[in-house]
């Protein structure tokens, strides 16, 4: 592109040439913006690898945006007509996993080790020309896939319908108007407004402060000179002190405009100051300030989006997936073991590999039978369905589960850390009668407090909101504000100064108004000792009564600061909070309160909420001389911490996790986001900021904390359903493996493969309804106790096998034993196995709740079908020659008389009762009940002390004389305690 230098003088033209020159040979690599501008301008037919159509279009950076797109004016923005073409090019501004077609998702239900074994069994049945068996096996696979696909889709639809309520929002300038839209609708070049409490809706370059639009010209000048830092890496903002002469150091223009929390992408716990021209990154939280910015790329090509794409192929399903794989692989190994035993027995009986074709007494049929009974094809579908149905139920209760595995985590949580304001309390501040310093006017004090407040009505801080609204009670203060005030500068609250200041002018005089923590405001003034003591006493009195107090002061021109008094604010606990905390404690989940309020207010709130009063100042945690084990002990025994910063919350959660606790964290603010992300189950409460919602695993849309008790109970019920099904399914596999292999070896008999596939089908049909069962909720945190699960399942499987052998043994009697009039060995065994196996789910689910009508209906339906099979001798096949021989005369057509069916039903009921008694007794054994439980107080003093010692050092990087980088451990700088 030719540059126009005609109107520039000699040196100006030279400067522009130096700034704008690009080597044509390296244009594609060095100037992706210019290359991006050439897209769709035509390309050679052979250049199929290029990302655009022009020979100059870059193939390497599809996210590069043409420079002319980023030049919109801050008060005009882009036009609505420009939106659609840009969206067609870059897509919606959101990070989404690639949309999987419904057909592909359905096919996914045929993938996995367990399912592959069943597919091998189907192929084996086709090879043996057992068309009925092959058809039923395929039917089982298709049925499981269809049920799982439909249930998961239905559950996901419910969750998706509510997720719109927590979608990220953005304020954008288009056609000269400020609009509130969904963040996904942004396009590159949009002018957006970023302010405190919001998540940044896309990678954007800061232009200027919202209250300083005149700085836009300065921004344009800097952009023209190409003086902005690279936007691709947040770490570029960090200054490299090892560089000499300032080389490599990022140069900032003017003062910090906003501050953002980048802990999720850079690991920095403190907010990062952002200056004109700096890039703010998608999904990071704005913690201070308000500014204009221009979106520089879409979410897919943002820093977070590119990072997400690197791991998009890794669909990690966490601990639950590992448990399922463990069980599945163990069952597969057991199947191989039993097949080996059956084949060894078959070799001694001189069985053929695949003949006779019309009999199940050959080696391949043995393998087919054991593959069908030993692999629980419904295990992946039932467990996934149970989680999905549970997530849909929670969604109906206004709790959005953003990760399915969070349900399992919440079921095991044993410590709940909770923010106070807006979570435990109603976040509805009201100002009581203020304390006014002697000689001062209450109306003037309220006016000064209102002047020292944010005036952005759209996003008022709760304290500023109540301060302004309280003026309804002070009409004279409102009259003061009606005068011709002008705000020159407004400095929002920050944790360091602990106050808000505003510089305002009236009639040529300059007033500096301050509002903030009593100690911070008192430190500004030079009042008498008597006034200061009275001020402190009043502040302490307010705190003892559970009030939050704010000091108010001002100075006129260059005069001294004048202390006006104290505002007393009260944030009452929510009506349901005390009951919620008691219920949580009964569930084995103690609550620890983490608040930024003074310790006196924190203790008073704890008393109101029936929490313990072992509340400590954060200074005791950080600067109290504690480290290692003693510091961890303090965190474990504390009921809460006061005057905490975000890093303190993060540290408390981390220490509890190091002790082996599964920790949940609730919060609503930007400052809660790091600890929400760190916890095992982060919960954003109703009204939470976008940053908190993005960091959380579960988002509550209903007010208060009461939903968490429902969520804990529901997650434990879901866990109970899955555990009951897994115990049931393992026992079923072992039952038939043990019985069939022993009968193959001892009497050269098996249950025909046609009947076996229906037993497998019935087992899955009956238990799909487990997802809707009325499970009970444990009174303590739950966890996978695999040793206990396996021991109980093995015992139940052995009892079922013994019961089947007993009924088989009676059939060797001359009169047929259990047979009353006539019958068939195959059908009687089929009916007994089907009944006892189906009813086992009633045992493993426990007796603390009545089963749901869905579960009872499914099982009774299957039992009725099995009974019809037995009565009419379906698929009974020919008679077996056993050794020893069966002496009673069987019906050739396999029919079983109704009286014998009733006896089998009665016998099966008796077996189920015996198994239920054994199951109850097994769960009463203390040693077995605690087997496999994780140590929730994993105290390791040596490791904790070593880590505490290492925490005193930091890793420092420098460059040696040889130009090579070196890393070394150096002592950390000692942080000075604030003297307040």
Coil, strand or helix: which one is 176? coil
Nearest to 610 by CA among 648, 584, 635: 584
DSSP code per residue over 805-829? HHHHHHTTSTT-TT-SS---HHHHH
Residue 575: CB atoms within 10 A of its CB come to 11
Partner residues linked to 191 by β-bridges: 173, 294
From edge to edge, which strands make up the β-sheet containing 285-288? 272-274, 258-261, 285-288
Q: If you search the block for the tokens 């939106």, which residue do you land on?
A: 83
Contact between 419 and 595 under an 8 Å Cβ cutoff? The reply is yes
d(CA 87, CA 64): 14
Helical (H) or strand (E) element with 169: strand 169-174
8 Å CB contact between 654 and 645 = no
Using alpha carbons, list the distances in angstroms from residue 784 to 176, 408, 726, 764: 58, 10, 11, 23
Task: Name residues whose C-beta falls within 8 Å of residue 671's C-beta, 6 or more positions apart in sequence.
Answer: 261, 287, 596, 645, 646, 649
| Residue given tokens 């000048």 in the structure block | 221
Beta bridge mates, 968: 956
In sequence order, the 6+-apart residues with CB closer than 8 A to the CB of 85 are none
Buried residues in 467-503 as b, exposed as e (16+ CB within 10 A): bbebbeebeebeebeeeebeeeebebbeeeebbbbbb
Taking the CA atoms of the chain, what radius of gyration do you get in angstroms?
A: 36
Cα separation of 811 and 818, whole Å?
7
User: d(Cα 36, Cα 32) in Å, to the nearest integer?
Assistant: 6
Buried b (16+ CB within 10 A) or exposed e, 627-650: ebbebbbbbbebbbbbbbebbbbb
- Structure tokens, 824: 């068939």
Give catalytic residue positions.
419
What are the structure tokens assigned to 654, written together?
């981390």
CA distance 907 to 833: 11
Euclidean distance between CA atoms 574 and 576, whole angstroms: 5
Torsion of CA 707, 712, 713, 718, to 10 degrees: 120
Nearest to 36 by CA among 45, 25, 27, 44: 27
Residue 867 main-chain phi, psi, to 5 deg: -65, -40
């Amino acid at each position: 592109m030719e540059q126009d230098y005609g109107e520039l003088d000699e040196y100006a033209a030279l400067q522009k040439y130096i700034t704008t020159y690009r080597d044509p040979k390296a244009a594609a690599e060095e100037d992706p913006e210019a290359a991006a501008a050439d897209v769709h301008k035509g390309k050679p037919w052979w250049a199929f690898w290029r990302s655009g159509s022009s020979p100059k279009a870059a193939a390497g950076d599809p996210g590069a945006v043409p420079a002319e797109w980023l030049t919109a004016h801050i008060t005009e923005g882009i036009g609505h007509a420009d939106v659609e073409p840009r969206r067609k090019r870059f897509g919606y501004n959101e990070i989404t996993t690639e949309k999987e077609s419904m057909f592909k998702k359905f096919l996914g239900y045929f993938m996995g080790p367990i399912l592959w074994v069943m597919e091998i069994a189907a192929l084996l049945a086709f090879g043996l020309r057992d068309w009925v068996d092959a058809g039923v096996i395929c039917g089982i696979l298709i049925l499981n896939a269809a049920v799982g696909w439909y249930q998961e889709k239905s559950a996901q639809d419910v969750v998706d319908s509510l997720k719109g309520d927590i979608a990220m929002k953005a304020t954008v300038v288009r056609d000269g108007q400020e609009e509130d839209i969904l963040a996904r609708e942004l396009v590159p070049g949009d002018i957006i407004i970023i302010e405190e409490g919001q998540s940044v809706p896309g990678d954007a370059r800061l232009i200027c402060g919202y209250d300083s639009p005149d700085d836009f010209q300065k921004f344009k000048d800097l952009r023209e000179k190409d003086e902005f830092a690279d936007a691709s890496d947040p770490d570029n903002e960090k200054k490299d002190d090892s560089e000499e002469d300032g080389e490599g150091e990022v140069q900032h223009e003017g003062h910090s405009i906003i501050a953002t929390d980048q802990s999720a992408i850079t690991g920095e716990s403190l907010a990062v100051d952002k200056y004109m021209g700096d890039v703010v990154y998608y999904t990071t939280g704005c913690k201070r300030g308000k500014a204009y910015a221009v979106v520089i790329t879409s979410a897919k090509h943002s820093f977070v989006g590119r990072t997400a794409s690197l791991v998009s192929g890794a669909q990690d399903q966490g601990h639950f997936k590992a448990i399922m794989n463990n069980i599945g692989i163990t069952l597969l190994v057991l199947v191989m073991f039993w097949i080996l035993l059956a084949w060894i027995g078959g070799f001694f009986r001189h069985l053929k590999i695949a003949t006779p074709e019309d009999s199940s007494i050959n080696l391949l049929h043995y393998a087919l039978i054991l593959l069908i009974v030993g692999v629980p094809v419904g295990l992946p579908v039932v467990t996934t369905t149970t989680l999905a149905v549970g997530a849909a139920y929670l969604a109906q209760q206004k709790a959005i589960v953003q990760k399915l595995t969070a349900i399992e985590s919440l079921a095991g949580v044993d410590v709940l850390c909770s923010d106070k304001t807006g979570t435990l309390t109603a976040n509805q501040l009201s100002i009581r009668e203020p304390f006014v310093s002697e000689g001062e006017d209450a109306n003037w004090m309220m006016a000064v407090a209102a002047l020292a407040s944010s005036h952005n009505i759209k996003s008022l801080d709760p304290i500023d909101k109540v301060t302004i609204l309280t003026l309804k009670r002070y009409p004279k203060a409102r009259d003061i504000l009606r005068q011709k005030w002008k705000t020159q500068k407004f400095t929002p609250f920050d944790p360091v100064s602990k106050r808000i200041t505003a510089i305002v002018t009236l009639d040529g005089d300059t007033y500096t108004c301050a509002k903030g923590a009593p100690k911070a405001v008192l430190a500004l003034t030079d009042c008498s000792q008597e006034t200061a003591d009275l001020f402190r006493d009043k502040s302490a009195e307010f705190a003892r009564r559970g009030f939050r107090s704010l000091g108010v002061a001002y100075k006129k021109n260059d005069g001294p600061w004048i202390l006006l008094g104290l505002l007393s604010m009260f944030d009452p606990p929510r009506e349901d909070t005390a009951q919620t905390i008691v219920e949580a404690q009964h569930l084995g989940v103690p609550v620890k309160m983490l608040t930024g309020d003074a310790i006196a207010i924190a203790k008073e709130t704890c008393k109101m909420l029936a929490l313990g009063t072992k509340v400590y100042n954060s200074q005791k945690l950080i600067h109290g001389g504690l480290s290692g084990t003693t510091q961890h002990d303090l965190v474990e025994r504390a009921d809460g911490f006061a005057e905490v910063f975000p890093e303190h919350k993060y540290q408390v959660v981390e220490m509890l996790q190091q002790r082996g606790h599964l920790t949940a964290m609730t919060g609503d603010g930007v400052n809660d986001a790091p600890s929400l992300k760190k916890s095992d189950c982060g919960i954003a409460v109703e009204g939470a900021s976008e940053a908190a919602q993005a960091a959380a695993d579960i988002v509550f849309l209903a007010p208060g904390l009461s939903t968490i008790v429902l969520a804990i109970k529901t997650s434990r019920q879901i866990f109970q359903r899955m555990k009951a099904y897994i115990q049931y399914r393992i026992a079923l596999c072992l039952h038939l493996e043990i019985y069939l292999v022993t009968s193959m070896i001892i009497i050269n008999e098996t249950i025909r493969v046609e009947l076996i596939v229906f037993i497998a089908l019935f087992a899955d049909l009956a238990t799909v309804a487990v997802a809707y069962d009325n499970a009970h909720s444990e009174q303590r945190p739950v966890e996978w106790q695999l040793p206990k699960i396996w021991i109980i399942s093995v015992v139940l499987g052995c009892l079922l096998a013994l019961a089947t052998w007993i009924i088989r043994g009676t059939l060797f009697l001359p009169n047929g034993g259990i047979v009353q009039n006539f019958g068939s060995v195959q059908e009687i065994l089929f009916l007994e196995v089907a009944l006892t196996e189906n009813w086992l789910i009633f045992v493993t689910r426990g007796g603390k709740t009545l089963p749901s009508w869905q579960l009872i209906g499914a099982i009774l339906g299957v039992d009725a079908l099995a009974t019809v099979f037995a009565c009419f001798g379906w698929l009974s096949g020919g008679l077996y020659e056993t050794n020893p021989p069966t002496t009673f005369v069987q019906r050739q057509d396999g029919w079983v008389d109704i009286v014998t069916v009733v006896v089998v039903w009665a016998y099966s009921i008796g077996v189920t009762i015996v198994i239920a008694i054994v199951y109850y007794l097994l769960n009463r054994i203390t040693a077995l009940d605690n087997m496999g439980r994780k140590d929730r107080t994993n105290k390791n003093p040596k490791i904790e002390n070593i880590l505490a010692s290492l925490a005193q050092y930091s890793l420092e990087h420098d460059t040696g004389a040889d130009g090579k980088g070196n890393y070394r451990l150096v002592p950390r700088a000692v942080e000075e305690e604030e003297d307040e």
